[in-house]
Amino acid sequence: MSRVRVLFLCTGNSARSQMAEALLRHAAGDRFEAHSAGIEPKGVHALTLEVLREAGIDTSSLRSKHLREYQGRVTFDCLITVCGHADQNCPAWTGVSQRLHWPFDDPAAAQGTLEQRLAVFRRIRDEIAARIKAWVGRQEQDAPETPAKT
């Protein structure tokens, strides 16, 4: 059985889409192939890496990527935008069977002390994790049953 290929897209590919990629890979990497990209990539935010590591998530493969790295080269079963700017500015993508928009606050825009900013990154991480868990559960319920081999 092939894995469902998913692309998470945001503006900077520094926080939300990186978290979503890592969290989906961690939660269901055997059933889903997770990727992320940005329309204007800015590099992976240090606090993104910190809050993912706190949750026991491997961050070694995360890097900020431009949408062009995938466009016309890779087909995806599902494209999920995680910010309004990406949702409005993502070019048409042929071959995507499902396009979703999951808006999350931008933790990279958080102000205040380090602890206050970390709290925002943790909240967004947890919101994304909950959304992924629910979505994966629905995907698995909707998957066609495969007859058992005898």
Exactly one of 34, 90, 120, 128 is catalytic; which is it? 90
Structure tokens belonging to residue 4? 């469902």
Exactly one of 7, 83, 120, 129 is catalytic; which is it? 83
Q: Give yes or no for a contact between 78 and 97, defined as CB atoms under 8 angstroms apart.
A: yes
- Which amino acid does the sequence have at 135? W
The length of the chain is: 150
- The CA distances from residue 34 to 48, 105, 148, in Å, are 17, 21, 27
Structure tokens belonging to residue 146? 């495969």
Instruction: Give catalytic status of residue 90 as yes or no.
Output: yes
Exactly one of 9, 10, 57, 132 is catalytic; which is it? 10
3-state SS, residue 95:
coil
Q: Kindly report the backbone phi and psi dihedral angles of residue 74, in degrees, each rounded to the nearest multiple of 5, phi listed first.
A: -130, 140
Instruction: Give catalytic status of residue 83 as yes or no.
Output: yes
What distance in Å separates the CA atoms of residue 74 and residue 71, rounded to the nearest whole number?
6
Residues identified as active-site: 10, 83, 90
